A = this chain, B = another copy of it.
Amino acid sequence: MKMTMKEIAKMAGVSVTTVSLIINGKDQSIGAETRDRVLKLIEETGYVPNGIARSMITKQTRTLGLMIPDITNPYFASMARGIEDAARKAGYHVILCNTDENQEREMEYLQLLRRQNVDGVILVSAATAEHEEKQILKEFKRPLIFLDRRGTEQTEASVGFDNRKGAYLAVRHLIESGHEKIGCITGPLKNKSAQERYQGYLDALKEAKLDPNPEWVVEGDYQMAGGEAGIRILKDRGVTACLIANDWMAYGAYKACYEEGIQIPQDLSIIGFDDLLISQAMIPPLTTVHQPNIAMGEMAVEQIVSWIQSGKPPKESKLFEPRLVVRNSVRKRKEGRKS
């Protein structure tokens, strides 16, 4: 039988108020023996307070919504991990929502989360255009922060990553290693982070006075398949090195290279982006740009919790810095020029 506070109260011969007070540690004015009696009863009966009923009156659920494209992608999984950990520590738990970048599903979920009265949501939504974001914010009247997304205005709460600089760093490394014919497999360019990374690629080229060659860039999809396809397109166009806009696609690229008999890095240098865990295990280990996803997830929680508790959105959005991780997928060419 499911215990309720009323039952406990009756058994202990006290009022529900008393039980409630004890459970919530507002003991000051409760006699020691009464408290002990009630506590023992709770212990014995295995009573657990009904969070639903509590939420009803406290107006908070201690629940966070987490919307990401696909938990199966290690990139998002690591963010999710950082988020779940930080949330737990802050006394919150997390509802997981996979959106597949699907706008419609995103909206449905937002609505669900509203019905469920989550205290706030963390949204990783690479695909949404700026005006859609505004729309979301307007529609969803609770704390919501964008993760993996650069803030667009002062008012927008978000934690992001300096993608442009990251890509710049990567391509500069390629150039310093003596490459001049540098290709790029981008992310889906409707996506802001993909644009930024592409910009960084261009930045580095420009700095080195290398002419960008449109033949050398192909738009990918941030999936393994995109990397694979990209390599097959690029393979006969003479590039000696390639920036691949995320590690996940880079894995696809490795696969294509293997199948096409292209040796990394002897025949083709590859540099990735994200530094997923497995990148260390690839053969050869993938040189890539490190993005601290777990920390970013934690930061997102910090921001949303502060928003929830203070009632005020964080005044500034957070931007994380890239760091190049050099491993073995980039070949140093003899004629390398120093910058």
A residues bordering B, Cβ < 8 Å? Answer: 2, 46, 48-53, 55-56, 61, 63, 66, 70-72, 74, 77-78, 80-81, 84-85, 93-98, 111-112, 114-117, 139, 141, 224, 251-252, 254-255, 257-258, 264, 277-278, 280-285
Interface pairs (7), CB distance under 8 Å: A48-B111, A71-B81, A93-B97, A94-B95, A224-B277, A224-B280, A257-B283
Contact, CB under 8 Å: A96 / B117: no
- Given A258-B285, A282-B283, are A85 and B114 neighbors across the interface (CB < 8 Å)? no
**Nearest CB on B from A268, distance (A):** 13
Interfacial chain B residues near A114, Cβ < 8 Å = 48
Interfacial chain B residues near A141, Cβ < 8 Å = 2
Contact, CB under 8 Å: B281 / A251: yes
**Nearest CB on B from A204, distance (A):** 26
**Nearest CB on B from A115, distance (A):** 4
Partner of A77, one of B55, B72, B84, B254: B72
Contact, CB under 8 Å: B97 / A112: no
CA of A93 to CA of B56 in the docked complex: distance in angstroms?
20
**Nearest CB on B from A44, distance (A):** 14
Contact, CB under 8 Å: A115 / B77: no
- Given A77-B72, A81-B72, A224-B277, are A96 and B98 neighbors across the interface (CB < 8 Å)? no
Contact, CB under 8 Å: B96 / A94: yes
- Given A72-B78, A94-B95, A96-B84, are A51 and B277 neighbors across the interface (CB < 8 Å)? no
CA of A94 to CA of B68 in the docked complex: distance in angstroms?
13
Interfacial chain B residues near A116, Cβ < 8 Å = 51-52, 63, 93
Q: Identify the closest chain B residue to A113 (Cβ).
A: B93
CA of A255 to CA of B281 in the docked complex: distance in angstroms?
5
CA of A227 to CA of B245 in the docked complex: distance in angstroms?
29
**Nearest CB on B from A284, distance (A):** 7
CA of A208 to CA of B74 in the docked complex: distance in angstroms?
39
CA of A49 to CA of B114 in the docked complex: distance in angstroms?
9
Interfacial chain B residues near A115, Cβ < 8 Å = 48-51
CA of A52 to CA of B284 in the docked complex: distance in angstroms?
52
- Given A93-B116, A116-B93, A254-B281, are A81 and B98 neighbors across the interface (CB < 8 Å)? yes
Contact, CB under 8 Å: B48 / A52: no
